[in-house]
Amino acid sequence: MPPVYILMTMDCESAHIDVSKHGRSMSSSGPADYEESERSIRGFVETIEAAGYPATLLLHPEVAAAHSEMLLDVQSKGTCLGLHLHPYKLVDSAWQDDLGSYTTEEQRKILSEAIEQWERALGQKPAYFRAGYFSANDATFRVLEELGFRGGSLSNPGRRLATHFSIWGDAESYPHRANTAFRSATGDSELIEVPVAVAYGRPVAQGHAGEAGYEWPYIPHTYDHGAVIENIFSRFIEDQPRFGTYVTDTHNDHDYSDPTANASRNLRGILAAIESVSASLDLEPVGITLDALCDQVREETK
């Protein structure tokens, strides 16, 4: 049975109490406070672990500081921790836009600032990354590699969200070595890129945050997640990729500790659909973290 790698990720946003009025206007995602954040993170990790899947948490620096003890504990049990970033959500930030709007040198400054805060909170440098809104430009992978990152999940193939500098057009669909000159192509970098899985058979005219593109596994979305999974997994049968990967995403402003919450119901439905669709297509779902997948891709694409 060919494996389908199941990568369950959460973008952990700063609480609104730490975000400026401008930052909240640019991105309203995120919990009201860190109590809400902790409930969401714990509920998400516990739910997917009960189903046999490990978690990957991409953490804004303020979240890393607020939950350092909990995060180091779940990391010791197999959770992958990485950096998540909206430049304008950094505390006392002078940055006003999304990452993809900035030059090479500006991105280096922004990321260095975030790395320093994240490292101060957790005692280690982040090695994996995702920008808010999947915002990036052709300088981003090069800057990430220069700063010591080993991998990321930055791309959402087909997405068009120009207001947040998130344009992924015909981006590569499967995990690959990043191209440090052109973000949408495979390259030869030591940095591994793991795209979000998208359902090419299910276009969305205007989706979450106003983007055009395709339906993708953002857990709180209200569309038919079972149909999205079937579309993505069926593509794996046709394409026969070496690393067929189903990548979900969510935020820490949904109460996954509450089984009646909409996002919790969606998550349980997704977990059930992964099993049923895999069985129907004779595929084997294999839970994996972002760091482990990046290591495997790097090793097998030497």
What does the domain layout of the chain look like in residue ranges? 3-300
Q: What is the pLDDT of residue 211?
A: 87
Architecture of domain 3-300: Alpha-Beta Barrel (3.20)
Task: Enter the pTM of the model.
Answer: 0.97
75-86 pLDDT, tens digit each: 999 999 999 999
pLDDT of residue 192: 98
Burial of 123 per CB tally in 10 Å (0-12, 13-18, 19+): exposed
**Is the confidence at residue 59, as pLDDT, over 90?**
yes
* Res. 207 pLDDT band, cuts 50 70 90: confident
Q: Has residue 292 got a pLDDT over 90?
A: yes
Yes or no: say if 245 and 289 are a contact pair by the CB < 8 Å rule.
no
Place of tokens 């049923």: 276
In contact, 90 and 117? CB cutoff 8 Å: yes
The predicted pLDDT at position 1 comes to 75
